[in-house]
Amino acid sequence: MSEAALLTSLSRSQIYRLELADKFPRKVQIGNGRVGYLLQEVEADIDSLPRVPSRPTKSSKGRINSIDRSPVNGGRS
């Protein structure tokens, strides 16, 4: 689960809650007493999330002059 947490930037408890609510891929049995997630399912889940549009910045004269590409703090709730 720690790799899934790294890929998604979600905590283990957030992933567990989302999985229980059917909002995250289900774990699969990978060995005796071991479970994990299928990478393609986790990646598909990430790709399905809505994108936050880039915000244009304004010049001192109020004109849009470039795109602000700084990260936007967001996530699933």
State the Cα–Cα distance between residues 41 and 52, nearest whole angstrom. 22
72, part of any domain: no
pTM of this structure: 0.61
68, part of any domain: no
17, part of any domain: yes
Range of the domain at 45: 2-49
16, part of any domain: yes
Compute how many other C-beta atoms are within 10 angstroms of the C-beta atom of residue 24: 21
Q: What is the pLDDT of residue 50?
A: 85
71, part of any domain: no
Q: Could you read off the pLDDT of 6-31 as tens digits, one per residue?
A: 999 999 999 999 999 999 999 999 89
Instruction: Tell me the two tokens of residue 5.
Output: 């947490």
73, part of any domain: no
Q: Could you read off the pLDDT of 43-54 as tens digits, one per residue?
A: 999 999 888 777
Q: What is the pLDDT of residue 20?
A: 94
Instruction: Count how many domains the chain has.
Output: 1
Q: Could you read off the pLDDT of 34-74 as tens digits, one per residue?
A: 999 999 999 999 999 888 777 666 555 655 555 555 555 55
